[in-house]
Structure 1
Amino acid sequence: MTAMLQKLPLDPASLNRVGDPARPGMNKVRALFKWMLDSDPQPTEGQMKVIRESMLSGDPLADAVVAMYGQLPAGKGRKLVDQALEQGIDSLHNPPQALLALFRQIDHEPIWLDRELLRLGCEVSYRVGMSGELVLRNMSLMGGYLAGAAAKPLVFTGQLDRMANRRLIETGKFWMDVTTPGGLERGEEGFKSAVRVRLMHAQVRSMLLKSDSWDMRWGYPLNQWDSMGTILEFSVIFLTGLRSLGYLFSRREREAVVHLWRYVGYLMGVDERILPANEKDSMRALYQVMATIGESDDDTRRLGEALANASLQNRDGGVQQYLGRLEYTLRAGYSRYILGDEAADKLGLPRTLTKYFWPAQAPVRVGLELARIATPGANKALMWLGEKARKGQFPRQVKKLKADTTFTPVKKLFR
């Protein structure tokens, strides 16, 4: 593998988080993906080796910058990063080598980068409006908790109820920044947010690796494989969730969303060897994530319940409390519909008939989508409405929750 992989801290065979791709229940999933891909997605022995190594690999460039933080006066490292992001690395006098190496990578424009696809991927993300938030929160994020080991970094923050809202705000800020048309250009907010989140992950990784409670059999915290899985959550899993609601996308639109997140993954330090290049690659990678996912555990339930309960918090007055309970039930119903009852039970979600609401409304959405496709100017109008909705709601959430959107780890919460 490239320099993205570090010297392994232990034998990959000692990992206890790797599921068996040949375990009962995967045959039907394998057959489905084989039909969709027109090839067998089952990981080979060589690919399993890469998967295990990726689970034991951090982000050397970002990790070196975080190590640099510790050699400088408090806050100095972050100021250097901010200046390099705002004014360029050349604006720094004699910058540290770790910072030079990081910016050499992020300032390098990949030969495969297609700005037209970036633009289209952003437009698709805007067009779906608040449905995108529903899918990201109640399918992508919620489903990510099913892998007990992968979710451990969140558990180690403690105060799960408080941190659930913090993560929603941070994820919303990050998603809005990187999906804004033009936002990934050098110096724009999407580009800067991707790098800041990358460094926040490296800081969390450093803190957890120093913790006596971290078990390396879980793999590296926020490792390469889990980071690639997060890119899938925002791309093909995101698209799958929207299609389950009745949204329609052309092949070029789907490829555009995947391309957008390929570049975000590049900026966030995901090794290009495991970073999917197109929709087919992404679906193959998704199967391999599902095939090797570890067991759920008690932390899966704790995180699932905390995320679901976020809808009930900060509700003042009878009307607001009623609306909170309704939102909680509808969101839980969507998770149960899209993830399945077995997964929802592991996440501690209530059994509710609202899971039938979502497939029932899908035909209506399909009809609206067909009308959109046939109506000139409809895409532009929906983009405007989507931008207005999410840019109007987000500042209110930040103010209401007094949330921090600077992507800075809260050290005092780590146990």
Structure 2
Amino acid sequence: MTTAQDPLQFPARLVNLEAAQDKHGEKADHMARMLMVGDPLADAVIVEIDALGKEARRTLSRGLNDGLDSLDNPPPAIEALLRQLETVPDWISQESLAAGDETSLLVPPRWNALAFSGGSLAHTYSSPSIAKLLVQTGKLDLMAPRRLAETSVWKASVVLPGGLLRGGPGYVQTAQVRLLHARIRSSALKHGWDTQQWGVPINQVDIARTWLDFTVVPFAFLARAGIVTNEDEQQGLYQHWWYIAHLLGLNESFFLDIGDHAAASGLLELLDSTITPPDDNARVLVNALFDSTTDVLSSQPNAVLTKEGARELLNALARLYHGDARADALGIPASTATPLLPVIAAGNAQVRRYQTTIPEAAAQERAVNIEQYRALVDSLPGRTEYQSHAEAAK
């Protein structure tokens, strides 16, 4: 006789579940159950939009930009989503949202790009279920430059001062990303997605994994390059990203007890230990991603690296972070730049010590980076895919 916690009732994508249960207890069982949970509020909005058409899309767009109070008798699913989005939990303050993610704003854009590609997205793509869905629904291997740019713009928008205030660019874009997830989930389920094998597409575990890929993963990557965050900086980082998790529709059970990199690493280990190794989809995505990243790094004004040099540095840093076995599985080759990494890390560490000792230096670094991130946000032509889906989903 099976029980609610029988592993046979969980998606077949899970591996090493008994070992995870021994190590993580109820958190492992909770994680397994959440593989079958999507985002009921956003999913209901997609159903409502498909039923009501353009007027519902216009209502949703107006509500995201101007607030629920600007609408007269909105459809129930749109009203419920907007109410959840606009309910600011008591663990975040308007003042901190106005300040932005001060920890992330200490990271220069070039290092953010390296950590984002070599750490965050490479780790995201190492999940076979996520890689399969991206290749199947988005042809990301062919669209890597645009998708990389769009995700970079979203990341900049959510960390900039005031970006997450109601109606702000980061707030609106995060809601649009959430709705894009719901649209992809709906489409995949209609086109034969195997939930018994993979769980619900873009389920709560996948969203949690993505959230970790914007918090602990890039900063663990940066730490290996000498850019280390202290306890106060970590606390500020996670409080800011708690709110982003709230806007993305992630269940609070995944993030509210995570206030530093150590706690986040525990959840990351649980998720990583229960999936199979990267597959061909992951390798296709990572290769396309690294091509796009090195194009960007080598073509920026005052770039100090050639395309070949940028790729060697990215490969070296990615292998240092992921380790040789995982890097090999992701198709990341050995690099001639590896011997330079200790020198680079020492230089970055010296800069961080100076910023920690001299508050004015940190403030100046943030000011310079804020201007560069704002320029990045303004540089993307046309509407993003998440804007298109939210405003004209069909």
Give unpaired runs (5+ residues) of structure 1.
1-7, 27-39, 411-415
SS of the residue corresponding to residue 132 of structure 1 reads helix
Pick from 107, 110, 132 the counterpart of residue 128 of structure 1: 107
Pick from 184, 206, 231 the counterpart of residue 251 of structure 1: 231
> Which residue is equivalent to 1:153?
133
1:62-211 equivalences in 2 (<5 Å): 62-73=42-53, 75-115=54-94, 117-118=96-97, 122-130=101-109, 131-211=111-191
Matched, 1:385 2:364: no
Shift in CA distance, 11/284, structure 1 to aligned 2, threshold 3 Å: closer
Structure 2 residue identity aligned to 1:48 = A
1:250-329 equivalences in 2 (<5 Å): 250-277=230-257, 278-279=259-260, 280-311=262-293, 323-329=306-312
1:328-343 equivalences in 2 (<5 Å): 328-343=311-326
SS of the residue corresponding to residue 212 of structure 2 reads helix
- Partners of 1:57 and 1:224 within 8 A in 2: yes
Shift in CA distance, 368/378, structure 1 to aligned 2, threshold 3 Å: same
> Which residue is equivalent to 2:330?
347
Pick from 9, 14, 24 the counterpart of residue 43 of structure 1: 24
Q: Deviations over 1:278-306 (max 9, x none)?
A: 22542321221122233322111111112
Q: Deviations over 1:361-391 (max 9, x none)?
A: 1111111221222334111110122123333
* 1:11 Cα offset (Å): 8.4
> Which residue is equivalent to 1:57?
37
Pick from 14, 38, 45 the counterpart of residue 18 of structure 1: 14
* 1:21 Cα offset (Å): 5.4
Residues in 2 aligned to 1:284 and 1:120: alpha-carbon distance in whole angstroms: 28
Q: Percent identity?
A: 29
Residues in 1 aligned to 2:80 and 2:375: alpha-carbon distance in whole angstroms: 38
* 1:324 Cα offset (Å): 2.2
Shift in CA distance, 108/211, structure 1 to aligned 2, threshold 3 Å: same
Residues in 1 aligned to 2:28 and 2:351: alpha-carbon distance in whole angstroms: 43
Q: Deviations over 1:94-135 (max 9, x none)?
A: 211101111221111212214555566612211111212211
Shift in CA distance, 77/326, structure 1 to aligned 2, threshold 3 Å: farther
Shift in CA distance, 333/41, structure 1 to aligned 2, threshold 3 Å: farther
- Partners of 1:244 and 1:359 within 8 A in 2: no
Structure 2 residue identity aligned to 1:142 = A
> Which residue is equivalent to 1:3?
none
Q: Deviations over 1:299-345 (max 9, x none)?
A: 111111121222466999xxx9x922322222122111111121111
Deviates more, 1:387-396 or 1:246-255: 387-396
Residues in 2 aligned to 1:393 and 1:108: alpha-carbon distance in whole angstroms: 29
Give unpaired runs (5+ residues) of structure 2.
none
Structure 1 residue identity aligned to 2:339 = Y
SS of the residue corresponding to residue 129 of structure 2 reads coil
Q: Deviations over 1:161-196 (max 9, x none)?
A: 332223212211211111011221112111111111
Residues in 2 aligned to 1:41 and 1:380: alpha-carbon distance in whole angstroms: 45
Count residues in correspondence.
379
Residues in 1 aligned to 2:278 and 2:226: alpha-carbon distance in whole angstroms: 30
SS of the residue corresponding to residue 13 of structure 2 reads coil
* 1:408 Cα offset (Å): 3.0
> Which residue is equivalent to 1:229?
209
Residues in 1 aligned to 2:27 and 2:106: alpha-carbon distance in whole angstroms: 37
SS of the residue corresponding to residue 57 of structure 2 reads helix
Matched, 1:367 2:356: no
* 1:149 Cα offset (Å): 1.4
SS of the residue corresponding to residue 161 of structure 2 reads coil
SS of the residue corresponding to residue 42 of structure 1 reads helix
| TM-score between the two structures when normalised by the length of structure 2 | 0.87
* 1:217 Cα offset (Å): 1.1
SS of the residue corresponding to residue 16 of structure 2 reads coil
Residues in 2 aligned to 1:393 and 1:115: alpha-carbon distance in whole angstroms: 25
- Partners of 1:121 and 1:253 within 8 A in 2: no
- Partners of 1:12 and 1:56 within 8 A in 2: no
Residues in 2 aligned to 1:294 and 1:116: alpha-carbon distance in whole angstroms: 42
Residues in 2 aligned to 1:16 and 1:355: alpha-carbon distance in whole angstroms: 38
* 1:351 Cα offset (Å): 2.0
- Partners of 1:119 and 1:181 within 8 A in 2: yes
Deviates more, 1:183-192 or 1:280-289: 280-289
| TM-score between the two structures when normalised by the length of structure 1 | 0.83
- Partners of 1:182 and 1:188 within 8 A in 2: yes
